Chain A
Amino acid sequence: MPDRIYFDYAATTPVDPRVAENMIPYLKDQFGNPSSLHEVGREARFVVEKARQQVADLLGASSDEIIFTSSGTEANNMALIGFVEAHAEEEIHIVTSAIEHPSILKTCRYLEKRKVSVTYLSVTPDGQVEPDSLQAAMRPETRLVSIMTANNVAGTIQPICELVRIARQHGALFHTDAVQAFGKLPFHGGQDSPDLISVSAHKLYGPKGIGALFVRKGIRLNSLIHGGGQERDLRASTENVPGIVGFGYAAEIARQGMASETARLVSWRDEMIGHILGKIQGSYLIGHPYRRLPGHLCLGFSGLEGDMIKLLMLLDKAGIAVSTGSACSSNHPGEASYVLQAMGLDPLKARGSLRVTLGRFNTQKEIDWFLKILPKTLAELRPMTTDSFSSR
């Protein structure tokens, strides 16, 4: 049995040792400020720009379209608030979905208090935004659409190109929160690709505290942080050089190994789904069966939804780290997931999901062990219904 198994890669990923090694010089000897004119500063500038290119390459973008931020959350705030403030004199309507990350939904609520109107699209039971519903929500004053590439809770991948095309037809810009998808799904930067893309390093085997916003050339945003003019005057503050270097290298590793890594995770994911649904009575998959992130499983167990916290704790005791719903909601274990409720699950089922997310450092042995442990652990829980109810 492995000592400890980490199956919560959607919450955060461990830093790839190669990434950590690359960062160390910039935490020690190479400490320069990229804005300094001397050689120590110029060295720092060089590595920041190199990392910018590496992140751009993974997005199919130009390096001058990448703005480094402190996180995906900041990138989301910058995209929405920065856009609205840059167009303050205009009437603005934003369309988003009901299953976005809180950094989008709460930012939208903030903007609604500032006379921006927002439409929150509902989703299908498998978590997809219907292109028809976006089409119906578009108005003449719709200036921005923000739909996440893939959902952190359910794992469902959105039909982004189709949604981008609809936004384009109506003259609106398209932003996507790609924090979960970056490095797992291909981005090409073409015409049916989003205009603004938020990404983060710590879901990509990079360090925490560094993210980026792709801003297509020609798009006007206002800065949220005012100061020294870094990042093309869009994000003041001395650059987080070690973080940026780590982010760049993590993006480079992802770009080179994405196909084989994704294929492996898809294969494990499907093996686990097949095994669990086939062998554990009452188990069900939440989200789309295959239009979902590689390595992402969101599961429910009929009649045991009220006991998911206990399941999480029992698995933790057995050395297996999984999650119920999203990591952000773990601070509020009593609350039902708004994402799963938006997908039509009742409040009990919406608080009773088990999220298992695989990543780069998992092994077949760990998968096998988990599949062996899970039924035994479930048997320790107290079902809500009679035995025969759950097995119908």
Chain B
Amino acid sequence: MSMTVSDLPGLNCGLCGYRTCAEMAEQLPMKPELLKRCLPMSEHRERSFETKPFSVPSPKKDCGACSVACAPEKTDGVKWKDSLGREFDFYLEHFPEDPGPREIIIPHNPMITREMEIQRGDILIGRPLGMSCGCPITHCGVVMEVDKRTGVIVWCVTGPLQPRQHGFKDVGYYIAEGYEGLIKQTRCEPKIGMRYYFQPQLCMLQWRHSGLVNYLNRLKDGYQVRLEGLWIG
């Protein structure tokens, strides 16, 4: 580092965290990255430190509010239609570190969360009753979090293999209150507060669902999302 005190602005403004330019110059040979903290000198701004949003394929007018209003579109070979030919806006994928799609559920009798002493790691089975037309498939999964006060359970849906091998607790009917997961494939930019049709990637029936986005984090290659107010169809 050949920078000396005479190369610095000499304003002694303190914005770099050192009281004088001389003090900063002393540190520069050890910490050359300090130079960018000299704001009067570096009027040219650094690039934004935040990750830029990943590119969303050709967002359409009114996109997101209602798939029906949008003309059918194919992007990178994705047809954006479920197994019944209905349109949806994005795929919902599960977090890679989770054993399966994460759902927030409540048994129809929330007391059984306490009565059955459900705890993290337990394997449960049950059928999601009451989601619009309801899902005809019994789900199996592993418990991640339990709220004993309200009976709300967070689980990851894993399929029938675990219950067969390790046994399970049967919660009977439950209501799926929310999903959390990743959006990596979408044909529009999701917005908080908007209801969307989406396709859970691992839905056995490949039926579209709809839900309200009420939490959204932008990631470098997609979105981390929480959906509530779920319906099938």
Contacts and interface: CB of A to CB of B under 8 A. Distances in A.
Given A125-B48, A125-B50, A386-B154, A267 B17 contact: yes
A319 interface: no
Interface residues on A, range: 35 or more
Contacts of B19: 259-260, 263
B14 A266 contact: yes
B46 interface: yes
A35 interface: no
Interface string B81-114: 0000000000000010110001010000000000
A193 to B, nearest CB: 12
B35 to A, nearest CB: 12
Contact of B49 (A259, A289, A294, A384): A289
A157 interface: yes
Interface in B191-233: 191-193, 214-217, 224, 226
A302 interface: yes
Contact of A266 (B12, B16, B102): B16
Contact of B104 (A128, A159, A270, A386): A386
Contacts of A188: 11
B21 to A, nearest CB: 9
A384 B226 contact: yes
B59 interface: no
B215 A348 contact: yes
Nearest to B20: A259
Interface string B29-46: 000000011011001111
Contact of B14 (A128, A261, A288): A261
A103 interface: no
A185 B13 contact: yes
A88 to B, nearest CB: 35
B144 A386 contact: yes
A229 interface: no
Interface in A257-272: 258-264, 266-267, 270
Interface of A: 124-126, 128, 157, 159, 161-162, 185-186, 188, 258-264, 266-267, 270, 288-291, 294, 302-303, 346-348, 384-389, 392
